[in-house]
Chains A and B, each alone.
Chain A
Amino acid sequence: MIAGGLAEAPARQRLGVRLHAMLCRHCRRYARQMRAIGTAARELLARPSGEHESLERLRKALLGRIEPPL
C-alpha cells in the first residue's frame, strides 16, 4: 500500500498508511523508489528500437493473406 496501492483500500486504512509514511523515512524512501522504478520502466518499455523493419515485414505478410477489398 505504501508503494501506491491505496486507491481501493478503506479510508481508515489509507489514512493510517499516510500517517505512517509521514513519520517513517524508510517507508517514504521505499515508496519514492517504487514510483521512480515505475516511471523509468514505463519509459524504457515504451520505446523499443528497430520496430519499423519488423512492422513492414509483418504488414506485408499479413495483409497478403487478406483478399483486397472490392
Chain B
Amino acid sequence: MAVAPAEALARTDLAAAVRGRDPAVLRAIVEDYLPQILRAARGAGLSAQDAEDVTQETFTTFLEIAPRFEGRSHVRTFLFGILCRKIAETRRGFARQRQHDPIDDAMESRFKTDGSWMRPPAAADALVRLDEIRRFLAECLETSPTAQRMAFFLQEVEGLPRQEICKILEVSATNLDVMLHRLRNRTRECLEAKSVGGSP
C-alpha cells in the first residue's frame, strides 16, 4: 500500500530511510519537492528547457547520492544545494561572489562626497506604478547575475529562512544582504533607464 507523501516525510528516521533508499520516502521527496525545485530553476533565470534539464539532474544526483545523506540539513536544503551546484556547473560566475559589482559604481555615482544625492532617483511616478514596472521587469531581471536572482527567489518567493538560504548558496548573511540589494538596485537602475515620461 502506497504511503502518503506527508506521512513518509514526517518519519523521525527520515535520514536513515533516505540512506536506505526507502522507495516510499524517495518517491515522496520527488513528489513533494519537484515543483519547488523546477520553480527555483526558472526563478533563477534559466529557460524552460534548461530548468527542466537541471531539475532532472538535481533529482538524479540526489537519488544517486541518497546513501550519503546524513540528515544534518533538511532534505529541501540538500536538494537546493545540489540545484545551485548544478547551475554553477553551467553558468559561469554563478558560484563566484564578486567583491565588486558594477552596480555599486552606478549607485556611488548618484551621490556627492558629502553623502547628498547628486543624481536622485527619477521622479517617474511611472516607475512606481506596478503596470509600468511589469512591462520592463522581466527584461531588467535578466541583467542580474543568476546567483542574485536565486537569492531573491529563495527569500521572496519561497520564503526560506535566511540561515537556510545562506547554507544553500554558501554565503554569509552579510553577503546575502549585499546580493539582494545589488539585484534590487540593478533592477531599479534598469527600470529607470527604460521608463519613459514621468514628471520631473
Interface residues of chain A, those whose CB is within 8 Å of chain B, are 3, 5, 24, 26-27, 29-30, 32-34, 36-46, 48, 50-51, 54-55, 57-59, 61-63, 65-70
Contact = CB atoms under 8 A, between A and B. Distances in A.
Contacts of B71: none
B56 A58 contact: yes
A50 B38 CA distance: 11
Interface of B: 2-3, 23-24, 26-27, 30-31, 34-35, 38-39, 42-43, 48, 51-52, 55-56, 59-60, 63, 117, 120-121, 123, 127-128, 130, 133-134, 137-138, 141, 149, 152-153, 156-157, 177, 181, 184-185, 187-188, 191
A58 B138 contact: no
B46 to A, nearest CB: 10
Contacts of A59: 30-31, 34
Contacts of A51: 35, 38-39, 42
Given A32-B128, A58-B34, A65-B63, A46 B120 contact: no
Contacts of B31: 59, 63
Nearest to A40: B133
State the majority secondary structure of interface residues on A: helix
Given A33-B121, A33-B188, A58-B56, A41 B137 contact: yes
B140 to A, nearest CB: 9
B117 A48 contact: no
3 nearest A-B residue pairs (beta carbon):
A26-B120, A69-B24, A48-B42
B23 A66 contact: yes
B133 A45 contact: no
A37 B187 contact: yes
Given A37-B184, A58-B52, A62-B59, A5 B177 contact: yes
A39 B127 CA distance: 13
A29 B192 CA distance: 12
Contacts of A36: 127-128, 130, 133
